[in-house]
Amino acid sequence: MSHALQFYIDGQWVAPSGNRTLDVIDPSTEEAFATIALGEQADVDKAVAAARAAFPAFAATSRAERLALMRRLAEAYKARYADIADALSREMGAPKELAHRAQAGMGTAHLAKMIETLETFEFEELRGTTLIAKEPIGVVGMITPWNWPLNQIMCKVAPALAAGCTMVLKPSEIAPINAIIFAEVMHEAGVPKGVFNLVNGDGPTVGEAISRHPGVDMVSFTGSTRAGILVAKAAADTVKRVHQELGGKSANIILDDADLQKSVKLGVESVMRNSGQSCNAPTRMFVPAALHDQAVAIAKATAEPLKVGAPSTDGVFLGPVVSEVQYNKIQKLIEAGIKEGADLVTGGSGRPEGLNRGYYVRPTVFANVTDEMAIAREEIFGPVLSILPYGSEEEVIERANDTPYGLASYVQSGSLDRARKVAAKMRSGNVYINYPAWDAGAPFGGYKQSGNGREYAGFGLEEFLEIKGTVGYEAA
């Protein structure tokens, strides 16, 4: 990586102010394959100054000018698509097919949807004699995670560009290479200098500096609830907008009239995809008590054939989890599930057979899980499913909502009307009925400790805009 030891600030690649570096680890081998520079406060100051200087001119651009930039970005992204996908697979362990189809593909999908949104978005509206205008909020600090890296970068950069904002991005230092390539793509697309800036670094240094910076008007953060709380506290002194997409512990309610075979099978695969590293994974599967044993048998038969292995190997469903820290956390929670008395159906602690190196986790299913167990309360962020038996529909709705999180819920039923009624009672930002196709136009975000903002399409664009009311704009 020619720019791995540099930052992209004010339209050019520059040397960092300090000399700290960090090795980027391939989780399939546990060996370093790249080294990046880690930023300091001075680098953030320089990036924010560039973004502030660029803001007046970029905020004043027309819709047509921003659309032209975003369309050039789409072409430049397409030209580097394979490089981005390969980087994602290498640095975060995503299987080759998943990295190319979904991980990199999400960037294309979100950018296309934001271009479509900007084409018709209403930035001004006259209400009586008052003009309601939606204007860019200013300089946006962006802090993105390692689990769906390009997805989250594009979910922030695309609406910021559409709104007319300038930005400073700190990607995850665990999976930063895709973001460096993305900065090269932005440069190739001709983004005006200072509009997009990239500073690599860790949370306590660069993340903290961005969150506290008086020159940053908004922080958009995606990550754990624990880290989100720290970002909000750091941002509080400057009363900047804090937009958060945080953790989850999503319930998957399988009603007694659902197709049990299909509902359990797809539920298991949804949890195991991306090695369980998705904030909205349906990790709590609620099944009618009378069907519990049947559901367990289906889950076991689904999980056990799933192939775990090196991301470059054909047919692999689960690659490694992203890091040693993540691996150790998952192992502790699997062990907690066993100690607390849940039935271990398949999987368990340790690496899968034949894999002695790399952060590989066994696809794990627990049954007869109760609500107070750690595996039912904590976000594991690994390929671990908990099956919980329930009695009545009223009971399962109450239990499904009994969580500090509220990112997503899933409902399976043979009756669409019945599923809709249950969905209406779920306290979560998203509800998915009968495993629908992904929708780039649906709002994405959570209730409670899962965050306080929304992403995707117009819902995401709104987050980067201020509302101004000009009273008396029209003569009475």
Residue 179 in contact with residue 169, Cβ under 8 Å? yes
Active site residue 155: no
DSSP string, 45-109: HHHHHHHHHHHHHHHT--HHHHHHHHHHHHHHHHHTHHHHHHHHHHHH---HHHIIIIIHHHHHH
The catalytic residue among 91, 184, 245, 463 is 245
Which of 389, 430, 435 shows the shortest CA–CA distance to 263? 435
Q: Count of alpha carbons within 13 Å of 332, Cβ hemisphere only?
A: 11
Residue 99 in contact with residue 88, Cβ under 8 Å? yes
Per DSSP bridges, beta strands 465-470 and 130-136 are antiparallel
Q: Tell me, letter by letter, the H, E, C secondary structure of 174-211.
A: CCCHHHHHHHHHHHHHCCCCCCEEECCCCHHHHHHHHH
CA distances from 259 to 293, 340, 393, 417 (A): 15, 31, 17, 16
Residue 448 in contact with residue 249, Cβ under 8 Å? no
- Assign 3-state DSSP to the chain and report helix, strand, coil percentages, each to 5: 40, 20, 35
The catalytic residue among 40, 279, 455, 463 is 279
Which of 365, 364, 367 shows the shortest CA–CA distance to 342? 367
CA distances from 404 to 27, 78, 246, 324, 378 (A): 31, 39, 11, 27, 10
Indicate the DSSP class of residue 217. Answer: S
Which of 356, 352, 357, 350 shows the shortest CA–CA distance to 334? 350
Provide Rg for the chain, Cα atoms: 23
Active site residue 245: yes
Please list the active-site residues: 245, 279
